[in-house]
A and B are shown apart, each in its own frame.
Chain A
């Protein structure tokens, strides 16, 4: 046991207090205020540009040589311009500080042996010719050796005249087996490069013949190289070649595709998105096998970039939607974007609104169906939720199971959900209004029952309701935060014992327990997490309105809410479409129509192709069997009159 810490605490010494880490505004002043928030370092970089000289080699290509990147191997000393600079950030402390003599001596020795720890000056955009320079840039770029998970593996490419190369990858992100067997082994043991061939052509040869990785791409800028390293690829630098070869070796640990947690269904697929970007896009593509399905990639983040994929059906989705989303995403300048929930907040139309403007879902089947309807899907990094836009209010009340069930059952559960929405929103406020303002408006027996149940309660009904609603919110929040094993126990303790005890103590009336419990149950039926939040918050607003002005307050509140809902837009589409404003659509808003009548995509999205089904899809049905379309359908003709192959 280290007793020194303990004895130190007993020492009367103010420096004990100094050791505790406290982040104060005073600490921030020690580093330059300008430098902390100055992203681009413009004035510094200009000054350094004048002084810095780097080796820039122009390409020396033979006439018959074709490569996907232009490779330079001619040295030229010239001043860097701002175009040549990748980043001019300064990683080490700039202020002059005293160092020990030992450190000074160590530095001197390193300098004489040519072993410089970091690259001095701004980092150029282009990959350098010298491997040593590239290595120094890597050291500087990735903060080595402080940064422990960046691995630089030096090796020599085999043959009569071996030459040096390095492989750079992130430990934990890259699959080491692939690196060993598909990169290092072939290059070190199975290679014999022709020394007479110009080095500029070696890269192409290595890529074409020596590295058996499934994806190998050559790059010549540091931006691409560093992004690939951080994305899990292994990047190979070669001595005498001003380009790199990025070999796809992604292999980090992630959860396998699991069950849907927040959108569980009985009938229908159970898989859900996981914390893997490519697995998520792949899940959708596996369900929606169409060459029209386009996945466009963007990156957000200046400090650390996050991949953002925009997925849509070319020829179905309105291109204006795609352009608008891309425009909005590209307008975001942020250091780091960890999840789709944050992107949603950046992209939404009216930020001061209770209703979600994006459908966040963890179900690949829902995304696939949305894409086929003309929506756009957005995937963010390793987020387990994809975003679908534009979204309609009615979609927020639907689950994918509604579509998998036959229409009477689908319609029935939708009606139940609509009633639940009304109950979750209005029941407590209605109860307050009736008991406080309008007891004459309910049947006499019910009024007497309410009065009898409230006889022993010393609090006003508003306080009762607020107390119980607050308790429910506590139970809900506690149920999410506490470990899964004791979660149900807390639920039982909270809901049953607390409620029972409150009634027995005469604090709460038994009828109110029923009201609050039914309200909570109703709010749990909301299929969309964001919408359930809206309902929870709005409920408190209605409680206040009902407590202050009874039915009048509730009615005015409802009117304000309705007007708000009809004016809210999701990516330019009014969320109450296709009812207000009216747009042509299949019977799929309030109720679920028959599957063979779902002939049109929602016109609210303005898709390029509105029809999604033939007029007659059940040609065998005697009710339509005599029609021309049915005859064609029976003969196996497509809806455009072409023979289906």
Chain B
């Protein structure tokens, strides 16, 4: 078990340790699950034919941010980012930050839960009340969050391959309807609009933020950067390919109006008499992805909340949060309101959380470290300590995460 002490007073949050591929699988599933919802339709509405470029552009931006953060703070690769911030900033600043992040994941999970349950009602069980659907979903999600982080990564790696094969099948089989001319003009509303959309869409890539929080749980810290690159790239490629098939099959104008394009894509499959209408495959893929995403969202909410208030455990918080999610999910009166909330708030401003916050805080932390080390050097020169003392202070610097060659 990984012991992540938040300070020297022995507050410990146990999560367990995971492997490189497991964490990459979890983050990929978490990042790319939105393609089963109305996200592709909103993206097609904004970027028209060039929508399939958007995730690629966003991924490039996120990868650049990832490198910048790792360049600024090497300790990110092996330490919990919030713990590092506790040292460089003060716990009084990281507490509201962790609380804000917890609220962010709570709201996102609640909206996702509602959207998923509405999708189930629309596509699979039209006669069942929403409350029953969402209750069942949240009970499963609760079990997932209770089972913990290790369990989530293991299910992700088990289902990751199955989901990938399913997605390939779902994107290849509708090829009978695919028309290349629907992809043109390939840049959609123009390069500027595309770039803008790409930047805005970085909110769909929370991998950078999550890696910074979860780096300490990796067994091999040398692979932290690799996890980030893998998860961001895979998510981007999955989103892009699916969008490409959508636009080539339905045309961007139609895709923008379809509430669940992936479901529509599964419905149009017709390859001979017996391979047709593979919604059932879609339902299994979609529910499994939803459960993992919501389960991880709930787990993050509990974990960050416990971190904010220096609690040694997060599991006792989960029942409270699941009730909150249930209540919050019912606040929007209908599916269009949920989609509107998502488009107007989450998609518009998520980049602040997923991109600006990690990069900005890494810059600030690096700056503070630089100032501290400068002050330390000045002091040392002023006091004129002997060789032995300077060696000791050198060890102290090394311990505080100071590295040669970074911003010097």
Contacts and interface: CB of A to CB of B under 8 A. Distances in A.
A555 B288 contact: yes
B268 interface: no
Contact of B133 (A443, A552, A566): A552
A414 B356 CA distance: 50
B344 interface: no
Interface in A397-444: 437-438, 440-441, 443
B151 A550 contact: no
Nearest to A433: B280
Contact of A560 (B21, B140, B148, B280): B140
B128 interface: yes
A-side interface size class: 20 to 34
B21 A582 contact: yes
B interface majority secondary structure: helix
B291 interface: yes
Contact of A580 (B22, B143, B280, B288): B22
A563 B151 contact: yes
Contacts of B280: 438, 441, 551
A445 interface: yes
B136 interface: yes
Given A581-B22, A582-B19, A438 B124 contact: yes
B155 A563 contact: yes
B22 A582 contact: yes
A566 B158 contact: yes
B365 interface: no
A504 interface: no
Contacts of A579: 157-158
From A438, A441, A553, name the one whose CB has the most chain B CB atoms within 10 angstroms: A441
A447 to B, nearest CB: 11
B277 A563 contact: no
A550 B124 contact: yes
A440 B276 CA distance: 11
B180 to A, nearest CB: 29
B274 interface: yes
B125 A574 contact: no
Interface in A344-402: none
Given A549-B128, A581-B19, A581-B22, A559 B151 contact: no
Interface in B150-192: 150-151, 153-155, 157-159
B120 interface: yes
B44 to A, nearest CB: 26
Interface in A549-596: 549-553, 555-556, 558-560, 562-563, 566-567, 574, 576, 579-582
A582 B279 CA distance: 31
From B124, B150, B276, B279, name the one whose CB has the most chain A CB atoms within 10 angstroms: B124
B154 A552 contact: no
Contacts, number: 88
Contacts of A563: 143-144, 147, 151, 155
B287 interface: yes
Contact of B155 (A550, A562, A582): A562
Nearest to A579: B158
B247 interface: no
A16 B280 CA distance: 70
B125 A437 contact: yes
B97 interface: no
A293 B120 CA distance: 57
Interface in A466-505: none
Nearest to A446: B274
Contacts of B158: 562, 566, 576, 579-580
B329 to A, nearest CB: 17
Given A441-B279, A443-B273, A559 B157 contact: no
B-side interface size class: 35 or more
Contact of A582 (B143, B147, B157, B284): B157
B143 A551 contact: no
Interface in B266-299: 273-274, 276-277, 279-280, 283-284, 287-288, 291
A488 to B, nearest CB: 37
B18 interface: yes
B137 interface: yes
Contacts of A440: 277
B165 to A, nearest CB: 14
Given A438-B124, A443-B273, A559-B291, A552 B283 contact: yes
Contacts of B283: 551-552, 555
Contacts of A567: 147-148, 150-151, 154
A556 B150 contact: no
Nearest to B281: A441
B287 A581 contact: no
A41 B284 CA distance: 62
A576 B153 CA distance: 13
A550 B125 contact: yes
Nearest to B284: A555
B140 A559 contact: yes
B125 A566 contact: no
A437 B280 CA distance: 11
A193 to B, nearest CB: 67
A560 B144 CA distance: 8
Contact of A552 (B120, B153, B157): B120
B124 A437 contact: yes
Contact of A556 (B22, B279, B287): B287
Contacts of B120: 552
A551 B155 contact: no
Contact of B140 (A443, A556, A580, A582): A556
From A443, A553, A555, A562, name the one whose CB has the most chain B CB atoms within 10 angstroms: A555
Contact of B125 (A441, A552, A582): A552
Interface of B: 18-19, 21-22, 120, 124-125, 128, 133, 136-137, 140, 143-144, 147-148, 150-151, 153-155, 157-159, 273-274, 276-277, 279-280, 283-284, 287-288, 291
Interface of A: 437-438, 440-441, 443, 445, 549-553, 555-556, 558-560, 562-563, 566-567, 574, 576, 579-582
18 contacts: A438-B280, A443-B273, A549-B125, A550-B124, A551-B280, A552-B133, A552-B283, A556-B136, A560-B140, A562-B158, A563-B144, A566-B154, A566-B155, A567-B150, A567-B151, A581-B154, A582-B21, A582-B157
* Smallest CB-CB A-B distances: 4 pairs: A566-B154, A580-B154, A555-B287, A580-B158
Given A552-B124, A567-B150, 17 more contacts: A437-B124, A437-B125, A438-B124, A441-B280, A445-B273, A551-B124, A552-B120, A552-B125, A559-B140, A563-B144, A566-B151, A567-B147, A567-B154, A576-B154, A581-B22, A582-B22, A582-B157
